[in-house]
Amino acid sequence: MSNKHLLAAELLPIAYDELRRLAAALVAKEVPGQSAQATDLVHEAYLRLTQGDVNRQWNDKRHFYSAAAVVIRHLIVDHARAKNSLKRGGQFQTIQLADFDLEATKTDDHQLEVNDALMALQQSHAEIVELVQLRFYLGHTMSEAAAVMGISPRTAARHWAYAQAWLKARLCEKLSETKI
């Protein structure tokens, strides 16, 4: 094994406790009654990250955590989609943008709307989306996310402010389109 690469089997023991803590914080921010569990999120994320190959290699911790953030984002969005399916009355749920807080997962509707907005933002600002994923889906602090990404905390703070403003504008635009 090259010194530059980390095997998935080696990363799990190192990262498990941190990922579990971050997932627990994320689940705690959800509306009561949500069925996502932190341990389930971490285990499913690990399975998707390794795709059954414990010898899968990661370039470094940033590569691993960025991939973990994307996988956890997809898991939460998949969970939200399942809960909002028509057989569960999802067509009658609304999003409350006045209470929208990028740092706190409020409802499944927010997850779907934020995911759609992040996919649009990814086209022009991939690094900003990476920061949002690390903070929003892994629960990293600003300094933790900056360290993982190898950017300064000030740059991270600027990216975060931009992301919040852009996402809020995008979500408000989306809401006004649905009212017409």
> Where is pLDDT greater, at 158 or 85?
158
pLDDT given for residue 86 in this prediction: 53
Task: Give the helix, strand, coil percentages of the chain, each rounded to 5.
Answer: 70, 0, 25
* Domain definitions of the chain by residue range: 6-179
Most trustworthy range by pLDDT among 40-44, 100-104, 115-119: 115-119
Q: Do residues 149 and 134 touch, judged by C-beta distance below 8 A? A: yes
CA dist 79 and 83 (Å) reads 6
Least confident of 25-29, 68-72, 84-88, 123-127: 84-88
- CA separation for the pair 85, 176 (Å, rounded): 22
In one letter, which amino acid is 78? D
Mean pLDDT of 104-125: 77
Average per-residue pLDDT for the chain: 75
Q: What is the pLDDT of residue 1?
A: 41
Residue 3 sits at φ, ψ, to 5 deg, of -65, -25
Note whether 46 and 20 are within 8 A (CB). Answer: no
Q: Which of 11, 6, 13, 9 is nearest to 57 (CA)?
A: 6
Predicted pLDDT at 175: 65
pLDDT higher than 70, residue 22: yes
Mean pLDDT of the 101-120 span? 69
